[in-house]
Amino acid sequence: MTTDDTDTPVDPSKLEENLAQIEALSQRLVSALSHQRQVAPSLQGPSPELYAKAASAYWQEMMSNPSKIFEQQVSYWGKTLKHYIDSQQQLAHGKLQPPADESGTDPRFSSPLWQSNPYFNYIKQQYLFSSQAIGNAVQGLEGMEPDDKKRLEYFSKQIVDLMAPTNFLATNPEALERAVETDGQSLVDGLENLVKDLEDHQGDFVVNLADKKAFQVGGNIGTTEGEVVYRNRMFELIQYAPATDEQYKTPLIIFPPWINKFYILDLKPQNSLIKWITEQGYTLFVVSWVNPDAGYADVGMEDYIEEGYLTALEQVKEITGEKKVNVIGYCIAGTTLALTLSLLKQRGDKSVKSATFFTTLTDFSDRGEVGVFLTDDFVDGIEAEVTEKGYLDSFYMSRTFSFLRSNDLIYRPAIRSYMMGESPPAFDLLFWNGDSTNLPARMSVEYLRHLCQNDELARGEIELCGTRLALADVEVPVCAIACETDHIAAWKSSYRGVQQMGSADKTFILSESGHIAGIVNPPSKKKYGHYTNEDMQAAPEAWQEAATFNEGSWWPRWEEWLRPRSGKKVPARQPGDSTHPSLAKAPGTYVVEIK
């Protein structure tokens, strides 16, 4: 890999020893793979119908506009042939260096060897030429429905990314160089990491993104002081200890998504939104959802509303003696919060004073990148899976979200762990990312069919709890925070949903970054900024174009919005009361249950 003659020579005995270890590890590998779950083809990729449509469109274009196809092919052939000739000429003139490289920057090819080594540079450039040709061919296809075209582009890119030379040992110079430097020890360590990951996940290929031994929920993450003051089959209610002598009169409840665990909002003290809210003087309650198993098969959206949201509201009112509360809903919990607010309006219940939505979709007319997984071929597969098992295993949701950022969450970590032999980092956010939850069977299907696919909430057609619910019924003051590069809840769709709410008091904040980093963005980091614009009548693009960009976190701006809606100051409240004794210390028991 290098021309440095002073490099330490390979130790044959050490190399032989490592090769023997690889053989032993290979037996463990085979054993681990024998336990791999059988995943239905419908959950492995899009149905063959998508590729049939693509082939039909391609051949139709070939017949009707052959010059376009030939032009694309000739362009690709010309680039690859010219690059081959340039490379040969360099060698013919005795130059062990690659020809001019105008491929630009790509994080996958950050090693200097991709630039300086003729062999690896040739592989890289040819791969990028091919990637561009495939991308151009797919983008240029006509005669396909927009949704089908979008899915074809996405899954084609997944295949192209999978085939990157960085993902294979023989064509990854960094991995080969490390193997030589360590006499093969890096490959032994990498195989050990691979086998361990397979054993940890019952034979499923899931890369451990973080060192699991580095964190303990309630030990060094999720440590903000509080008490579980109520518990039912759906959730534990945590009331956090006051951090100030006085607190605002109106309590605040956070409803986190039950797709993940709530402690994303309470990682380390320095980036904990929960801790920061208590320090601003609020009486804070957080719902910690149960991690369901097959016993929750019949639990649906109505149960989350009645036994979750409405019960939590009543318990908080009882504990604090207040008639009104402020609420926050994050992601799917924000979607369900909108349903709950509509139901409360229909019932004449004025328990909620204001509502905040974090990265929430209520208008699913444009489902963003995640929409490629929300068509019938996948949803039919999910419905069949949950009908058989009684719940949707966390494996499927985790894998789906990982593929939205496959280079960052699958291939790059796999390269570091399996080829380079590196241990997973002690990174709290990635630890949380791997600590996923299951979803009840009925709820999964209802959410996917009625909300994601049929967009029934935005259309005012969804019926839950015996009532037809609609966004127009959300009339309380609303503040919504969306994230600019969110792969899960596209900000423009979030904005359109807020536009349709019936509230006369709406605030929309667009944070930089994505679904998690844009929300978990403490002021002390001075990292991501945010956009504001009081005009909610404009289209999303026009709203952003006319918006003011503000440096730093949105947290203080949101707190300024919440403060006048939180009443006067009262003496700080301690968790619970005589009828709500402490059932456990925060973060509670549900968040650490393994199912």
pLDDT single digits (tens) 165-184: 999 999 999 999 999 999 88
- Verify that 167 and 235 share a domain, yes or no: no
| Cα→Cα distances 438→204, 297, 312, Å | 16, 11, 21
What gap in Å lies between CA 446 and CA 439, rounded to an integer? Answer: 11
Q: Is the dihedral of CA 416, 422, 424, 425 positive or negative?
A: negative
What gap in Å lies between CA 266 and CA 263, rounded to an integer? Answer: 5
- Verify that 163 and 271 share a domain, yes or no: no
* Residue 566 in domain: yes
Res 124: pLDDT: 96
- 506-511 sheet: strands from edge to edge: 548-550, 530-532, 506-511, 478-483, 352-358, 325-330, 252-255, 284-289, 235-240, 226-231, 584-585
- Verify that 338 and 408 share a domain, yes or no: yes
Mean pLDDT of 338-355: 98
- Verify that 160 and 296 share a domain, yes or no: no
Tell me which of 156, 171, 186 is where a domain ends. 171
Given a cut of 90, whether residue 45 has pLDDT beyond it is no
Q: Is the dihedral of CA 117, 167, 490, 267 positive or negative?
A: negative
Nearby residues of 427 by Cβ (< 8 Å), 6 or more positions away: 209, 210, 211
Q: Is the dihedral of CA 292, 297, 301, 306 positive or negative?
A: negative
- Verify that 462 and 343 share a domain, yes or no: yes
Residue type, 20: A
* Residue 550 in domain: yes
Nearby residues of 23 by Cβ (< 8 Å), 6 or more positions away: none
Given a cut of 90, whether residue 283 has pLDDT beyond it is yes
- Whether the CB-CB separation of 339 and 329 falls below 8 Å is answered with no
Given a cut of 90, whether residue 98 has pLDDT beyond it is no
What gap in Å lies between CA 215 and CA 236, rounded to an integer? Answer: 22
Mean pLDDT of 346-351: 97
Given a cut of 50, whether residue 407 has pLDDT beyond it is yes
- Whether the CB-CB separation of 251 and 312 falls below 8 Å is answered with no
The tally of domains found in the chain comes to 2
- Verify that 439 and 565 share a domain, yes or no: yes
Percent of the chain with pLDDT strictly greater than 70:
98
Q: Which two tokens stand for residue 142?
A: 């006509």
| Confidence class for position 202, pLDDT limits 50, 70, 90 | confident
- Verify that 409 and 321 share a domain, yes or no: yes
- Verify that 264 and 354 share a domain, yes or no: yes
Assign 421 to helix, strand or coil. Answer: coil
User: Using the 8-state DSSP alphabet, how is residue 419 labeled?
Assistant: I
Average pLDDT taken over every residue of the chain: 93
Res 9: pLDDT: 63
* Residue 96 in domain: yes
| Confidence class for position 7, pLDDT limits 50, 70, 90 | low
- Verify that 113 and 255 share a domain, yes or no: no
Res 8: pLDDT: 54
Res 318: pLDDT: 98
What gap in Å lies between CA 419 and CA 428, rounded to an integer? Answer: 23
Given a cut of 80, whether residue 191 has pLDDT beyond it is yes
Span 58-82, pLDDT tens digits:
888 888 888 888 888 888 888 889 8
Tell me which of 142, 171, 200 is where a domain ends. 171
Nearby residues of 162 by Cβ (< 8 Å), 6 or more positions away: 406, 411
Q: In sequence order, what are the beta bridge partners of 391?
A: 440
Percent of the chain with pLDDT strictly greater than 90:
76
* Residue 281 in domain: yes
Q: Which two tokens stand for residue 314?
A: 């009543």
CATH of the domain at 246: 3.40.50.1820
- Verify that 350 and 485 share a domain, yes or no: yes
Q: Which two tokens stand for residue 1?
A: 């890999």
* Residue 27 in domain: no
- Verify that 530 and 417 share a domain, yes or no: yes
Assign 579 to helix, strand or coil. Answer: coil
* Residue 392 in domain: yes
Res 346: pLDDT: 96
Q: What are phi and psi of 471, to 5 degrees?
A: -65, -30
- Verify that 150 and 263 share a domain, yes or no: no
Mean pLDDT of 242-261: 97
Given a cut of 60, whether residue 4 has pLDDT beyond it is no
Mean pLDDT of 20-41: 82
Res 381: pLDDT: 95
Q: In sequence order, what are the beta bridge partners of 440?
A: 391
Mean pLDDT of 191-216: 91
Q: What are phi and psi of 569, to 5 degrees?
A: -85, 145
* Residue 177 in domain: no
Q: By C-alpha distance, which of 360, 358, 562, 355 is closest to 478?
A: 355
Catalytic residue at 479?
no
Given a cut of 50, whether residue 390 has pLDDT beyond it is yes
* Residue 519 in domain: yes
Q: By C-alpha distance, which of 149, 474, 461 is closest to 453?
A: 461
**By residue range, what is the domain housing residue 489?**
226-592
